[in-house]
Amino acid sequence: MPHLSLASVLQESALRRPDKVAAVEGARQATYGELWRLALRRAGALRAAGVRPGDRVALLGLNTIDFVTAYYGILARGAVVVPVAPMLVADEIAFLLEDAGARVAFVADELQDVVAAGAEAAGVRVLRLGSDDALAAEPEALREAREPLDPAVLFYTSGTTGRPKGAVLTHFNLTMNVFVNAYTANNIVADDVMFGCLPLFHTFGQTVALNGTFLVGGTLILQPRFEPEQALALMNEHGVTAFLGVPTMYMALLAAVRAAGAGATLPDLRLCVSGGAPLPIKVLEEFNTTFDVTIQEGYGLSETSPTATVNQLEYGVEPGSIGHAIWGVEVEIADPDVDDAIVLKDVGEVGEIVIRGHDVFAGYHGRPEATAGAIVDGWFRSGDLGAKDERGFLRIVDRKKDLILRGGYNVYPREVEEVMMRHPDVDQVAVVGVPHDTHGEEVLAVVVLREDAGAPDADALLAWVGERVARHKRPRMVRFVDELPLGPSRKVLKRELRDRFAGETAPAPEPS
């Protein structure tokens, strides 16, 4: 078998550009050569801790240079990276470590206390990233050789339908996705300065921002935790040219610009990519105008390495769409009601988005039944509803589980959200279904108002929406909140909203 390692992303750039600054974190910066030497020292520390090639090593940290060296150190040792969201509590951490079968956990110093209890429960040794034990005195001479289909990273899904599942991504999956993203989908170049605010424990930040930037030899500006005002300042300070984010980040940056006023200094961005969740067209349009850039919206999942589609300049950019499938990948629309086979739908018909190609994962760790349900006839079933037009542009309609069935009619929340986002007082909105005795489900809109909006007026907002959407789609209830609940990757957690407002079946216009 040929050898292939995701660690080559950093190793090759260290050989070609050893003295170029690769990563900047506050006042600290590191060249490619320095990062690779530190990664090999991390690999040596793992060897000393008894980690063998193929073992799983958990990694808990923020967007820091230490995280970067630990990530590539695990790969250089030939072990499997198990990224863990740093905001999890001890019981959640213990479950992930046990389920993954992790031998060791690399942990940022500031997270040691919360991790310690979970690691102890799982019987996993903790190595603090700032300790001597996490950096061997002598680096490994070489990285370990791996085969293309060997596991490289074990990404745990968000667990929206129960306990998180570990998606096994191979060296082949991730290396191909990095190459295709960097060279054909997003066209990242060595002169780019990428802003690294996407969480590196998440597949979007890891594959597209971190590995994509390092593959071409660019510079990554790390922000440990996303904060929009600081993000704008850092982008201006370092001459950032590329920004990758989820919709809530784009919304937050726009709010920060509005708060700064007409004199705000804006970075000169060349490349902007949005993913992780559908980007409201109003936000896309406002951001493009404000920053004089064209956002390329894309789509993917942990199980697809992550990128499956993106708006690519060769095809043109279509606002409201997720573009075309990336090179070497097929994305089609299938009948969502046929479970044991893939029955493709016609152009323009709504169905389940299905994917096959080099990006599709090897399966769920230790869950063969879940894998069999997710990969059917060689296609990965995404659980997302979408459609493809006659030009090949794909659109997400909604998640299957977010579909609202009101009085026998399908209501797609995203369609209603797009309309409500056009209201001048609405900053963010999430539309969910709540139980109703007569209709089965009722349509509820949970709204965050702009800072300059007047007093909340649910009746006026409902009347405004009622003029713009069909009767069966109209929200009958509005709840005003200060903020929407976000998950580790800053996606809106609609399940929390459904649970929170499940018992409410009558309008209540007062703010919560």
* Averaged pLDDT, 305-309: 98
DSSP 70-94: HHHHHHHTT-EEEE--TT--HHHHH
Structure tokens at 30: 């590191």
**Residue carrying the six token digits 């968000």:** 158
Whole-angstrom distance between the N-terminal and C-terminal Cα of the chain? 60
Who contacts 470 (Cβ-Cβ below 8 Å, separation ≥6)? Answer: none
Number of domains in the chain: 2
Residue 508 has pLDDT above 50, yes or no: no
Dist. CA 32–CA 37, nearest whole Å: 9
At residue 149, φ and ψ (nearest 5 deg) are -95, 10
Domain membership of residue 422 (yes or no) is yes
Least confident of 14-18, 286-290, 407-411: 407-411
pLDDT at 509 over 60: no
Distance of CA 476 to the CA centre of its chain: 32
Q: Does residue 374 lie within any of the structural domains?
A: no
Instruction: Name the percent of the chain in helix, strand, coil, to the closest 5.
Output: 35, 25, 40
Q: Of the candidates 398, 395, 367, 356, which has an alpha carbon nearest to the alpha carbon of residue 157?
A: 367
In the predicted structure, residue 234 carries a pLDDT above the cut 80:
yes
Q: SS3 of 212, please?
A: helix
Closest CA to 86 of 106, 65, 57: 106
pLDDT in tens, 138-195: 899 999 999 999 999 999 986 544 688 999 999 999 999 999 999 999 999 999 999 9
Token pair 């950096």 is at which residue? 135
What 456-463 contacts at long range (C-beta under 8 Å, 24+ apart), as own/partner pairs, is: 456/480, 456/509, 456/510, 456/511, 457/509, 458/507, 458/508, 458/509, 458/510, 459/509, 461/420, 461/423, 461/425, 461/426, 462/507
Percent of the chain with pLDDT over 90: 81
Q: Final residue of a domain: which of 107, 140, 174? A: 174
Tell me whether residue 478 is in a domain. Answer: yes
Out of 153, 174, 195, pick the residue that ends a domain. Answer: 174
**Residue 159 and residue 503: Cα distance in Å, rounded?**
23
pLDDT digits (tens, 9 = 90+) for 182-233: 999 999 999 999 999 999 999 999 999 999 999 999 999 999 999 999 999 9
pLDDT grade, residue 506 (50/70/90)?
low
Q: Which of 174, 197, 231 is the last residue of a domain?
A: 174
Question: In which domain, by residue range, is 15 found?
Answer: 8-174
Q: Is residue 166 part of a domain?
A: yes
Q: How far is CA 429 from CA 102, 246, 282, in A?
A: 39, 15, 12
The pTM score is 0.86
Is the pLDDT confidence value at 428 over 70?
Answer: yes
- Inside any domain, residue 15: yes
Q: Which CATH number do you get for residue 79? A: 3.40.50.12780
Instruction: Let me know if residue 93 belongs to a domain.
Output: yes
DSSP-assigned letters across all residues of 444-479: EEEEEE-TT--S--HHHHHHHHHTTS-GGGS-SEEE
Share of the chain above pLDDT 70, in %: 97
Is residue 511 very low, low, confident or very high in pLDDT (cuts 50, 70, 90)? Answer: very low
Q: How far apart are CA 186 and CA 307, in angstroms?
A: 11
Residues 302-318 have a mean pLDDT of: 96
Quote the tokens at residue 429.
Answer: 């909105």
In a domain, 467, yes or no: yes
Average pLDDT value for residue range 342-357: 97
Q: Give 380-395 pLDDT, tens digit per residue.
A: 999 999 999 999 999 9
CATH number of the domain residue 432 falls in: 3.30.300.30
Both tokens assigned to 39: 């990664």
Write out pLDDT tens, residues 238-275.
999 999 999 999 999 999 999 999 889 999 999 999 99
pLDDT given at position 505: 62
In a domain, 115, yes or no: yes
Averaged pLDDT for residues 362-379: 97
Residue among 200, 231, 235, 202 at smallest CA distance from 219: 235
* Per-residue pLDDT reduced to its tens digit, 21-52: 999 999 999 999 999 999 999 999 999 999 99
Question: What integer is the mean pLDDT of 442-456?
Answer: 93
